Amino acid sequence: MGRVSKKASHSNMQASGSNLSDDKSPSKLRNRKSNNNNSSSSSSSSSNIKTRQEDAVSDPNSNIVPSEDSKKKWKNWRQRTTFTFLMIGGFMTVIALGPLSIMLMVLCLQVMIYREVISLSSVPKKQRDLPWSRAMNAYFLVCLEYYLYGHNLHRALKRHPWLEAHVQPIFAHHTFISFSLYVIGFVWFVGTLRKGYYRFQMGQFAWTHMALGLVVMQSQYMIENIFEGIFWFFLPIALVIVNDIFAYVFGFFFGRHRLIELSPKKTWEGYIGGGLTTMAFGFLLTALLSDWNFMVCPPNLKTTAFSNVKCDVNPVFVPRAYELPQVLTTLISTLFGRYVTSVTIRPVQFHSLVISAFASLIAPFGGFFASGVKRAFNIKDFGNSIPGHGGVTDRFDCQFIMAAFSHTYYTSFIKISTVTVGSVFSSFLAMNPERQVELYHSIQEYLQTTGSIAAAAADSTDAISAAGVAASAR
């Protein structure tokens, strides 16, 4: 056995020696040197790429967007796209069901977003020692919703005068009741102040009111827009959605340069591409919706997309012919061989360009503000209720300032002040019976003078009105 092992070891040594001699041949040495150079160069290049990416992430002043794992990136793309289409489908369904369903949707969104924002400042340990803190957050929300939606309901009932007559006593002191409820909450808060928690409780009180102002009050403009016509609710929201989608698409495929430090994945390419797409989309969408009375007419609570809606539409929705400058006419004739002296456009399409510009240039800063809040609290998303998107706040952060702007712009430049039957009847109900009869006789006399009603009909109504006054006197 010893001889065999010695021979085997001797043969192994010879084999290894022959291998070493082969490896030392000039061709083998050149190949090994070349492989070493290639491996070192590839490793150095990969390390350089990694270093540049790390520098882009660590350097807040870098304009280069850090790369993302390709598999994770496409998975997020598919998930985000799927739930985007689901949300759009649900949104369109709610719109078709009419203003009542839209108001309920806005109410649900207000509550969900308020809950996500309030949860950021919660400290479970301290809140265990202050059991009424969450209850007070909910109470202040209920008080504000009561005030806002009570006002909205009263406004909606003005389109149903006889129904308003029965509920008028409820709304007569609505503002005072709302204020009284708030005062009760304020006294409740002061009564719960505890030594050692003053700073925390004051911070919670301020945070609650900031959430009420930025979330609930601003989103209330959406409801105001509904009563002017569903078009004014739908268009601003649609523009923000389109801008968000195409900013993401352009940034996903072409984004290279960082737009703002607060949102490292926002790029100039996405910002510009989404803006241009939104402007074109708004101009075309306005032309498509302007002939649909369901969109442009002020609705009542029973209106749906399948209702036969009729109204005197705002003149901005009526097409008008605009004369082209001679220079432009000559240019079109030279380029296309057609002599065009005028174009027919709806005035609202020019207004849509202004609203689209705001949705593209300013509304995204609502999202940047939300990103700043997330950075301040060191969180990635406000929640996880929408897969691929985060929380509800993450998707509606731009809508609040957009709703406020669209309502302000509409009331400043587009709205026509008109007196409706509902508004006149609401004022009529606020009068005492003698004043009501006096107004009635004044209207009757005018209608007789103009020949709108016959004298016989006036005599019969006089008897009815006299009986009504006698009954009210008793």
CA–CA separation, 304 and 102 (whole Å): 11
Cβ(360)–Cβ(275) under 8 Å? yes
Q: What is the mean pLDDT of residues 145-171?
A: 76
- Look at residue 372 and tell me whether its pLDDT is greater than 50: yes
> What CA–CA distance (Å, rounded) separates 261 from 268?
12
Question: pLDDT tens across 89-125, in order?
Answer: 999 999 999 999 999 999 999 999 999 999 998 877 7
What letter does residue 263 receive in the DSSP assignment? E
User: Which residue in 300, 311, 286, 306 sits closest to 236, CA to CA?
Assistant: 286
Nearest 5°: phi and psi at 263? Answer: -125, 90
DSSP 61: T
406 and 225 Cβ atoms separated by less than 8 Å: yes
Least confident of 39-43, 94-98, 141-145: 39-43
pLDDT in tens, 276-298: 999 999 999 999 999 999 999 99
Beta carbons of 325 and 314 less than 8 angstroms apart: no
Distance between CA atoms of residues 194 and 200, nearest Å: 10
Distance CA 233, CA 109 (A): 15
Torsion of CA 288, 291, 292, 297, to 10 degrees: 120
On average, the pLDDT of the chain sits at: 81
Q: What is the pLDDT of residues 311-358, one digit of tens each?
A: 989 999 999 999 999 998 998 888 888 888 899 999 999 999 999 999
Structure confidence at residue 45 (pLDDT): 45
Neighbours of 335 (CB within 10 A): 8
14 touches 7 (CB < 8 A): no
Given a contact cutoff of 8 angstroms between Cβ atoms, the answer to whether 299 and 233 are in contact is no
d(CA 304, CA 288): 18
Q: Answer positive or negative: Cα dihedral of 47, 49, 50, 54.
A: positive
Strands 342-345 and 320-323: antiparallel
User: Residue 229 region, left (φ>0) first, then alpha (ψ -120 to 50), else beta?
Assistant: left
Question: Degrees (nearest 5) of the Cα angle 210, 118, 264?
Answer: 85
CB-CB contact of 205 with 189 (8 Å) = yes
Rounded mean pLDDT, 136-156: 90
Q: Where are the alpha helices (DSSP H) in 229-267?
A: 230-254
> Which amino acid is residue 380, in one-letter code?
K
Residue 314, classified by CB atoms within 10 Å of its CB into exposed (0-12), middle (13-18) or buried (19+), is: buried
Q: What are phi and psi for residue 64, nearest 5 degrees?
A: -90, 130
CA-closest candidate to residue 383, choices 372, 375, 395? 395
The pLDDT tens digits for 219-276 are 899 999 999 999 999 999 999 999 999 998 999 889 889 998 888 888 999 999 999 9
Residue with tokens 């202050």: 130
CA atoms of 345 and 174, how far apart (whole Å)? 44
Q: Which of 70-79, 174-183, 359-368 has the lowest mean pLDDT?
A: 70-79
What are the two backbone dihedrals, phi and then psi, of residue 172, each rounded to the nearest 5 degrees?
A: -60, -35
